[in-house]
Amino acid sequence: MGNLQCARPIHPGEVLKDEIGFRHISQKELSKRMGLSYNILNDILNGRRPLTTNTAMLFEAALDVPADSLMRIQLKYNMSLASQDKTLAKRMAEIRKLTASLL
């Protein structure tokens, strides 16, 4: 089974930013509703901070966007970034080489 990858990983903040734009909710208003600092909310929406399980659940409560869907987007984003990490790829290749004889 092949892996399809976007040219650019999508951070869940992009999806959320589009959603609040569509609903005409300001970031300041949303941060108040959610009980998050404006800076934290803005960092998430601009992809500078990862979405956590707790913040995903807060977004679900505020916007009715399923937290598990948001977390899947975050996981795909994390995996995409990790797959581009050359140091990690080298370590994985070494591990595969060392463990090949064990399989």
pLDDT in tens, 4-19: 555 788 999 999 999 9
8 A C-beta contact, residue 77 and residue 15: no
Q: How many domains would you assign to the chain?
A: 1
Q: Residue 90: in which H helix or E strand, if any?
A: helix 86-99
Q: Tell me the pLDDT tens digit for each residue of 59-80.
A: 999 999 999 999 999 999 999 9
Asked whether residue 21 is domain-assigned, the answer is yes
Q: Does residue 46 lie in a domain region?
A: yes
pTM of the predicted model as reported, rounded to 2 decimal places? 0.83
Q: pLDDT over 70 for what percent of the chain?
A: 93
- Which pLDDT score, from 0 to 100, does residue 1 have? 46
> Does any domain span residue 85?
yes
Q: Give the Cα separation of 62 and 65 in Å (integer).
A: 8
Residue 24, both tokens: 């005409």
Site of tokens 């990490």: 85
Residue corresponding to tokens 């009715």: 64
Q: Helix or strand or coil: residue 61?
A: helix
Residue 5 maps to a domain: no
AA identity, residue 25: I
In this prediction, residues 90-103 reach a mean pLDDT of 88
Domain that residue 65 falls in: 12-102
Residue 28 lies in a domain: yes
Residue 60 lies in a domain: yes
